[in-house]
Amino acid sequence: MIRLECFKGGSQKFYEIILEQSGQADDYKVITRYGRIGAAGNTAPKFEHLTHAQAERERDKLVREKERKGYQVIRRTGPASQTPSVPPSAPAAPAVPTAARVDVDLQLAAPAALDADALIEARGYLMQEKHDGVRAVLSVQAGVPILTNKRGRALDVPESVAAFAAAALMDAGETVLDGELVGERLYIFDILMLRGEDMRSDGFRRRYATLEGLLLPHAEHVTLSPAFSFPTSKRANYDALLAAGAEGVVFKSGSAPYTAGRSAANGDCLKVKFVESATVRIKAQHPTKRSVSIEMLDGDTWVDVGNVAIPANRPIPAVGALCETHYLYAYRGGSLYQPVYKGERDDVSDADCGIGQLKFKAEARLAA
């Protein structure tokens, strides 16, 4: 078991990571416990059916993520099969129930085939910021929050999100919200269910009005991602986000239902990115510099796409780790131009590293 604690910004939080053997010879799961120091905390299974080596890699990745957020390792104890311990000063109270997986078919924005100016002028489309974080689905029933990434794996529930669930959603019926987790802040941009009522068949304008009524009274806990509908407000905010270095924007048809899967390129959910982004795999670490070589899949073959520097405040990712990298454009048969390391990802697989996601130099010139 590894225990980390954080006192940053007045916080008093702990985070424990445990490897537990599941009965088979080499079948392990990774379990986490977290919460305020002195409280019982929440328990969340993170990964299941891993080899011991895989479980150790996932554990070490979680440690690095927490250290980036200001946590420090306090204690390393016990064998791999140890189950979560209760903090010394914690009362004997049950943990908040959570789940290892919640499967929700998400709507995915497609790169817009239409010009951004045309979408700004089109009154049928609303515009929201494309946040630069982790896709997060919040499911709440009887005040109990479950937060998962787009692959259905459990994420840690920030205290602010737990406070929102307890204040607004104590009903028995399930509420499901779609959003993006940026650090410890949850930005919510759509709703699938409200207190047991399926909202997906409603148009986006109606779903957004429902979100306003639900979220605005609790703005101190969670953030409603603003949706702009008039051309003048869309233009002003598009220009402001572009100038601020945001990742991009998403345009949604106001009359369209929430449809699972990726939209058509001229469909109901379209994204315009201000910078390009690619999922890559770490090929090798530089022996003396804070940089790594990266590779992507071209068919069944891994090909080198250059190097990227790792910021001084970020740990150098291990060989084989999957990471997100921003870039301006790519050279066919060559490297990414001006890559910027954004961080490791645990919600993707090798199949997401395909070279087909790249925008090459000629295409970038045509799109400019």
If you ran DSSP here, which 8-state letter would residue 170 be given? -
End-to-end alpha carbon distance in the chain: 52
Q: Is residue 29 a part of any domain in this protein?
A: yes
Backbone φ and ψ for 33, nearest 5 degrees, come out as -130, 140
Task: Give pLDDT, residue 362.
Answer: 55
Tally of CB atoms within 10 A around 62: 20
Tell me: do 137 and 235 sit in the same domain: yes
Among 229, 246, 270, the domain-final residue is: 270
CATH code of the domain covering residue 297: 2.40.50.140
Task: Give pLDDT, residue 77.
Answer: 74
Among 270, 292, 319, the domain-final residue is: 270
Q: Is residue 85 a part of any domain in this protein?
A: no
Tell me: do 256 and 292 sit in the same domain: no
Task: Give pLDDT, residue 103.
Answer: 63
Tell me: do 185 and 282 sit in the same domain: no
CATH code of the domain covering residue 182: 3.30.470.30
Q: Is residue 196 a part of any domain in this protein?
A: yes
Whether 194 and 177 have beta carbons less than 8 Å apart is answered as no
Residue spans of the chain under pLDDT 70: 78-103, 362-368
Q: What residues does 281 pair with on adjacent strands?
A: 295, 322
Among 206, 237, 270, the domain-final residue is: 270
Domain that holds residue 26: 2-76
Q: Is residue 252 a part of any domain in this protein?
A: yes
Whether 281 and 319 have beta carbons less than 8 Å apart is answered as no
- What confidence tens digit (pLDDT) does each residue in 85-123 have? 444 444 433 333 333 445 678 999 998 988 899 999 999
Q: Is residue 283 a part of any domain in this protein?
A: yes
44: which 2 tokens? 């969340």
Backbone φ and ψ for 293, nearest 5 degrees, come out as -90, 145
The total number of structural domains that make up the chain: 3
CATH code of the domain covering residue 65: 2.20.140.10
Q: Strand 301-309's sheet: what is its strand order?
A: 301-309, 291-298, 276-285, 322-327, 340-344
Tell me: do 69 and 171 sit in the same domain: no
Task: Give pLDDT, residue 81.
Answer: 40
Tell me: do 65 and 181 sit in the same domain: no
Q: Is residue 96 a part of any domain in this protein?
A: no
Task: Give pLDDT, residue 130.
Answer: 95
Tell me: do 263 and 285 sit in the same domain: no
Task: Give pLDDT, residue 86.
Answer: 42
Q: Is residue 100 a part of any domain in this protein?
A: no
